[in-house]
Amino acid sequence: MRVDVFVTAKLTDTSRSKVRAWVRAKEIRSDLRSLKPSSSLQAGERLELDLPELEGGQTQMPAIPPLLHQDQDIVAFDKPSGLLAHPVGGTFAWGLINLAREAFPGEDLHLLHRLDRETSGVSLVARSELANVGVKQAFKEREVLKTYHAIVRGRVPWDHQDVDAPIGSDDSEIRIKQGVVSGGQPARTEVRVVARFPRLTLVSCRPHTGRTHQIRVHLHHLGFPILGDRLYGQEPDVFLGLLNGLPVSRLRVRLGHPRHCLHARALHLRHPRSGEVLSIRAPMPADMARVLARAQAGR
C-alpha cells in the first residue's frame, strides 16, 4: 500500500493531502529509506511520525464501557461501536482491554474473544486463568451460543433461513473481502426476522461457525446486506474511497449509516467454575435504536 494511503487510513480525521505534505516535509519518516507519498510500504518497515498536532486527542482515555456482568472469573462489557478490542498501531492508544485494566487495576486480564471495531455489544474478558483457558476452549469448540442483531436493507419476505454456505476470499481487489465461494471454509448461520419495516428489516443471527465477516457475508449472500456496511452490498469504490481519506459524510447516502448496524446482542455459556449457564445481554445501542425508530415512523 502507498504510504499516503496507509497513514490516511490510520489517521481517520486527517486528509490525504495533509499526509502528503507531512511526508514531503520529512515529518513522516521511514527507518529504512527516504519516502515519497507514493512510496509502497515494505514488509517490516517502521514509520515515525513527528507531528505535535496529533498529541492529546489520539491518546485521551475514552469512557470505560458499561459493565454487563462481573464475577471472580469473568467480566462482560457492552463495547460501543468505534472501540477496538485491542489497540493497533501507534495512533490507537486505547482498546477494550486497556479500559478493562483501568477498571480492574492490577489484575491479569485477557480478552476472551474479539468484535470488529464497528460492531457493538457483549465482550468478555477473563479475570482468572481458569476462565482464560476454559472459556477460550469453549469458544473454540463452539459451545458458546452467540446471538447478533442486524439491521439489513430491504423487507425480508421469509421468517427463517439456515444458511450453510462456505466462505473464502472472493478474489476482490479488496484483499480482506470475503464471499460465499466453492471450496471455501464451511460456515453456517441461522437468521430469523425480528421486525419488518418498509425498507429495512431487523434480524437475529446465530453463527454456528466463526469465519471472518461471517454474518455480513451470509446476509449479503441472501440479498439483504447490513445497513452501513462498507464492504458488502457496496461497489468497491466505497471502501476504497474511505481508505483513501474520502469523508464518510460524502458517502452517507450510499451507506445509509456511518457504521454497519451489527450488534452482539447476547452470549450464553457455561461458567468455567460453577458450571451454571450464564446469559449475558447487551441493550440495543442508541444509533441502531434511532434507525429503527425512524423506520417504524416511515422515515
Integer-rounded Cα radius of gyration of the chain: 21
Annotation marks residue 116 as catalytic: yes
Q: What cell does 190 get?
A: 441461522
Residue with cell 462489557: 77
**Cell numbers 514488509 correspond to what residue?**
43
Helical H segments across 35-180, by residue range: 96-103, 129-140
Instruction: Please pick, among 71, 78, 108, 116, the residue that the annotation labels catalytic.
Output: 116
- Amino acid sitting at position 121: G
Q: From 148, 181, 151, select the one nearest 166 (Cα to Cα).
A: 181
Q: Which helix (H) or strand (E) holds 3?
A: helix 3-10
Parallel/antiparallel/unpaired status of strands 28-30 and 47-49: antiparallel
Run of H or E including 264: strand 262-270
191 and 218 Cβ atoms separated by less than 8 Å: yes
β-partners of residue 152 are 201, 226
Question: CA dist 93 to 236, 243, 291, Å?
Answer: 29, 20, 30
Task: Supply 258's cell numbers.
Answer: 456511518
**What positions carry a catalytic annotation?**
116
